[in-house]
Amino acid sequence: MTALTAVMIMVAIRVFGWHSVCPSALKRMPKSETFVMVTTVVLVLPPTISRWVAWSSLRHSSCGASITS
């Protein structure tokens, strides 16, 4: 599953049109398109990063304590 995720991320990076996010291109785009793009990034990126950080910290924690009764 991890390998599939890595492949999908690499394909997304390769396919994305990076020229569309340069300032000169953003000035030529309609304001509504720029607004939608920026809003999508602002709403999607922070929760995704925070989930990855939380998962990564849980995965690498060295807590070996077990609950006993």
* pLDDT at residue 69 is higher than 60: no
- 28-57 pLDDT, tens per residue? 989 998 899 889 888 988 888 888 788 777
- Count the residues in the chain: 69
Q: Where are the domains of the chain?
A: 1-42
Predicted structure pTM score: 0.49
Of the two residues 52 and 68, the one the predictor is more confident about is 52
* Cα–Cα distance measured from residue 20 to residue 26, given in angstroms and rounded to the nearest whole number: 7
Residue 31, pLDDT score: 92
- 17-30 pLDDT, tens per residue? 888 788 888 889 89
